[in-house]
């Protein structure tokens, strides 16, 4: 398991949010979304923002998130 101090150091580098708790929650949410463990709606709820805002934020920082499966994305790209 990762050392808590290392995690806090990484989280402190995230310039989007003001406090470390928000930053840690955001990193967790990004990981959970990428692993498809939670929905965008649940992620937004955890971050206490609207889903559209979270989706735009992810887009701005370059995190690709899609409601589609990887197979669906491949089909869309080749359409």
C-alpha to C-alpha distances, 19 to 33, 38, 40, 41, 59, nearest whole angstrom: 21, 23, 22, 22, 22
Phi, psi dihedral angles at 42 (to 5 degrees)? -65, -40
Global pTM reads 0.65
Averaged pLDDT of the chain: 78
Which tokens is 67 given?
């409601």
Share of the chain above pLDDT 70, in %: 75
Residue 4 has pLDDT above 80, yes or no: no
pLDDT digits (tens, 9 = 90+) for 11-35: 456 566 677 788 888 889 999 988 8
Q: What are the boundaries of each domain within the chain? A: 4-77
Give the mean pLDDT of 59-72.
77
Share of the chain above pLDDT 90, in %: 15
């Amino acid at each position: 398991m990762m050392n808590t101090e290392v995690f806090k150091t990484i989280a402190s580098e995230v310039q989007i949010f003001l406090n470390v708790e928000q930053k840690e929650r955001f990193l967790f949410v990004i990981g959970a979304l990428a692993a498809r463990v939670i929905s965008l709606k649940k992620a937004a709820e955890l971050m206490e923002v609207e889903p559209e805002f979270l989706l735009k934020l992810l887009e701005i920082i370059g995190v690709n998130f899609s409601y589609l499966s990887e197979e669906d994305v491949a089909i869309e790209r080749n359409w």
